[in-house]
Amino acid sequence: MIGFYFLRQFSIILVAFHLIQFMTFKDLGLSAPILKAVSKQGYESPSVIQEKAIPLIIKGKDVLASAQTGTGKTAGFTLPMLHNLSENKKEGKRKIRGLILTPTRELAAQVYDNVKSYSEYLTIKSTVIFGGVNQNPQVKTLRGGIDILIATPGRLLDLCGQGEINLSKVEFFVLDEADRMLDMGFVHDIKRVIKLLPNRRQNLLFSATFSKEIKQLANQFLTNPVAVEAAPENSTAEKIVQRMIRVDNGLKTALVIKLITDGNWQQVLIFTRTKWGANKLSEKLSKRKISSAAIHGNKSQNARTKALAGFKDGSIRVLVATDIAARGLDIPLLPHVVNYELPNISEDYVHRIGRTGRAGESGEAISLVCIDEVGYAKDIEKLLGEKFDFEIFEGFEPVDKPSEKKPHQQRNNRRRGTGKKKFSNPKGGGNNRKGGNSRSKKRY
């Protein structure tokens, strides 16, 4: 009997293992045209967040989903939305039936690319709108009729105010990277958009991290939501090697150059806290014959698009970015991320390093920490529940002293969504990060 019992338990384990190993997109209930498009993209099995969220969304449930970056959460909401819209076709002129709201232009463009790819064998039409470019081509496409609209809040509300967009027929409303929305001061814009939507609709809120403010927002527009989570809150991909290096603030540039040249790195994403800092570092790298470009909110959309395209095709070796690039940059197999300066908000660290180690691949995230940023590093340790061993490079030993204005004393005092707090950089100067005013929002 004992032998039979263990044999039975072993059989159950084998069956469970078989089901996990061989779960396919077809098992999730997606239609044949969507399966064909997914297969063309080279995807064989769903990620954890896709496996959990897609069946619920197909059933019409409101979903509150948390998943770390790089886990395929965009497909987690686009695939079931495309399935339901295509299964319930409407006659007559196309109306906007699906609305996806994102915080940045780059993320909006990425989501649009995904929607186009997954709807290749469907009769679904989609488009994307965002600020920083001429609205006329966008308006022309909208007037032709579309089913799915991907948008940033500013341009969406502008065109709604002009009477170019009608959201009264929306059946699916997706709020992507909701925590970043609040960080950037979009909470009031989100509420304005919700007022333009019909009361009867399906709501999906996706984010890499959740805060109390996010959960409060979810309670305002989600109806009996089902919460799904692909990883512990604020976790980072297991295959990302995280390194913290203590260094003098004045030696950071020299150390970055040494890391790139000695390691022969061909693709590196570097984060700074300020736009000015991004420009300055990019110029210094270029002078050392390391091809680089800066991307931030003061850059035109064409310049940002060109820089990102060059970085992806290898013509630009280093992309220096502010936190605008922490969300929405989907760069396959990106091997290296460097935090030239640690972020003021600990959660932003998760999003920054999440640009590497995507889709189960390995990656390396290096943070250069001067004495005034040690407090930031401690906050990150607390957030992740991890302890970092600080490295020291020979010739770059830290001998700096704390500045009079220590930025880590203000490290997490910013009220999310208000945008009224100024933060100091390691040298004590303010970076004037005003996420809540209309001017700064238009630059994203």
One digit per residue, pLDDT tens: the chain, 444 residues? Answer: 445 444 455 444 444 444 445 678 889 999 999 999 999 988 878 988 899 999 999 999 999 998 766 678 899 999 999 999 999 888 788 999 999 999 888 889 889 999 999 999 999 999 999 988 899 999 999 999 999 999 999 999 999 999 999 999 999 999 998 877 877 788 899 999 999 999 999 999 987 766 777 788 888 889 999 998 875 544 555 668 899 999 999 999 999 999 999 999 999 999 999 999 999 999 999 999 999 999 887 888 788 888 888 988 889 999 999 887 556 566 767 889 999 999 988 878 887 887 776 655 678 999 999 999 999 999 999 888 889 999 999 889 888 666 655 454 444 444 333 333 333 333 333 333 333 333 333 333
- Kindly state whether residue 108 falls inside one of the protein's structural domains: yes
The answer to whether residue 5 sits within a structural domain is no
Same domain, 317 and 271: yes
> In this predicted structure, what is the pLDDT of residue 50?
92
**Do 102 and 123 share a structural domain?**
yes
- 12 found inside a domain: no
Nearest partner of 442 among 135, 141, 162, judged by Cα: 135
| Residue 54 domain-assigned (yes or no) | yes
179 lies in the same domain as 285? no
Burial class (CB in 10 A: 0-12, 13-18, 19+), 248: middle
In this structure, are 186 and 308 located in the same domain? no
For 33-58, give the secondary structure using H, E and C.
HHHHHHHHCCCCCCCHHHHHHHHHHH
> Tokens representing 402?
């704390």
Task: Check whether residue 256 and residue 344 sit in a common domain.
Answer: yes
pLDDT at 69: 61
| Token reading at 301 | 């959309």
Domain, as residue range, for 102: 19-229
**150 assigned to some structural domain:** yes
pLDDT at residue 415 in the model: 37
391 to each of 262, 329, 367, 394, 427, how far by Cα in Å? 17, 28, 10, 10, 22
The CATH number covering residue 55 comes to 3.40.50.300
d(CA 295, CA 364): 21
Q: Both 212 and 244 in a single domain? A: no
**Within this chain, do residues 185 and 254 fall inside the same structural domain, yes or no?**
no
DSSP state of 402: -
Match 């209930």 to its residue by tokens: 29
pLDDT (0 to 100) of residue 4: 46
DSSP 158: H
Final residue of a structural domain among 203, 229, 255? 229
For 15-27, the pLDDT digits (tens) are 444 444 567 888 9
Task: Note whether 37 and 113 are same-domain residues.
Answer: yes
Residue-level pLDDT at 236: 52
Could you give the number of structural domains in the chain? Answer: 2
pLDDT of residue 360: 56
Q: Are residues 266 and 382 in the same domain?
A: yes
- Are the CB atoms for 355 and 269 separated by under 8 Å? yes
418 & 282 share domain: yes
Residues 280 and 187 placed together within one structural domain of the fold: no
